[in-house]
Amino acid sequence: NIIVDAIQKSISLDKIPNAFLFTGIRGVGKTTIARILAKSLNCSNKKKNDCLKNKCDNCTQITESRHIDVLEKDAASKTGVDDVRDLIEFSRYGPTCSRFKIFIIDEVHMLSKQAFNALLKTLEEPPEYLKFIFATTEVNKIPITVLSRCQRFDLMRISFDELLNFLKKVISTEKKNINENILKLIVKLSEGSVRDALSLLDRILLNDNNSKEMDLKS
């Protein structure tokens, strides 16, 4: 994956940008990748590269959204300049127990013009310990002055075959029996969004009251 390779290289060479921006349609993994990136930046066991088996305290706390140095905000509900000023004030102090203080801002395009202006100065001259990770579905609504200070990664829609194989793994793990034609229809309707596909699958599984294979006639 080009995006993963680029990020891994920037971390290994210690040439980490001040701000990352992940763009793409709903449900393709922008916020998930943002959290994984936060873990990669603050992981205590980087050389081991085995976080799936042996999570450090930093990674565990980020997973559980309780890390004191990783602040996650949803700009859809926190759009005002006062919200950004609170964030900037919080950024004046260095990290407590990790290498970086990280701000993850989801749906960043929802910030007001005044909020973007307040954020811009910190983006221009951030302290070395501060990193921003932005996610958005509408990159065209972000001011050019902000975009130019981010390393941008565009997440593509998940391909039909990849999403189909993923759903097959899900139903296998859940020990469910669903006809492949149903899965193909789910993939088609989800239009490349993993979240939408899982939501549709959940709704179908809720109606599964017996052990026989579900098909389009069920």
Please tell me the pTM assigned to this model. Answer: 0.86
Model confidence pLDDT, tens digit, residues 46-95: 665 556 667 788 888 888 889 999 998 888 787 778 888 888 888 888 99
Helical packing angle, 180-190 and 194-206, nearest 10°: 140
Does the pLDDT value for residue 211 go beyond 70? Answer: no
Model confidence pLDDT, tens digit, residues 131-186: 999 999 999 999 999 999 999 999 999 999 999 999 999 999 988 888 899 999 99
User: What is the rounded distance in angstroms from the CA atom of residue 162 to the CA atom of residue 115?
Assistant: 38
Cite the beta strand spans of 3-97 per DSSP E.
19-23, 70-74
